[in-house]
Amino acid sequence: MKKVTVMLVVVFFFIVGNASASNIIKTEKLQIIAVGKEVEVKDQATKMFIYDLMQIWMRHSLDDYYHNKYHADSISWGGLKPEGIRVWIRQVGPSENDRTYTHLIKISLQHDELIINDKKKMKTEDTFTYMVNADLLSLCPESGKSEKEFKLINSYHKVQP
């Protein structure tokens, strides 16, 4: 009986230790267990590859945000410089609600020139956090599986002086 009790105590501390060591990220509907450390992607080719893969979804989110906030009829961006793009990636474990996604990808974009209604110019920084299924990243958006590839879980928009 003592062996069983000792074993249960050891298992309990093992589970509690692992749960507290992992980072739990809560969204509106999901609880995500981040099992890896967030790492900034420094390699230019890798960073641009990830940005290019996710660009269409970010563009839709940006359009929606700025159209709603500024009642814009038109939005145009000046060229985005590669140094104005920052990417971080982090592995996630399976959650109890959803086992579709494998990584969190956070992308920050600094636009030196955002033009609203062909007259209002501003500098902006927009940051998006997506849950992604890395196994499906190579599929084109027209594959119809985009809802299983990316899920926007957070966005932050800032107009810079």
Tens digit of pLDDT for each residue in 51-67? Answer: 888 888 888 888 888 88
Give the pLDDT confidence score for residue 44 in this predicted structure: 92
Answer yes or no: are the C-beta atoms of 127 and 152 closer than 8 Å: no
Does 5 fall in a domain?
no
Does 126 fall in a domain?
yes
Does 105 fall in a domain?
yes
pTM over 0.85: no
- As given in the structure block, the two tokens for residue 66 are 């700025």
Residue 127, pLDDT above cutoff 80:
yes
Nearest CA to 54 out of 96, 7, 17, 103 is that of: 103
Give the pLDDT confidence score for residue 107 in this predicted structure: 94
Torsion angle, CA of 27/87/100/66, rounded to 10 degrees?
A: 60
Tens digit of pLDDT for each residue in 70-104? Answer: 888 888 887 788 888 999 999 887 655 556 788 88
Count of domains forming the chain: 1
Q: 146 has which bridge partners?
A: none
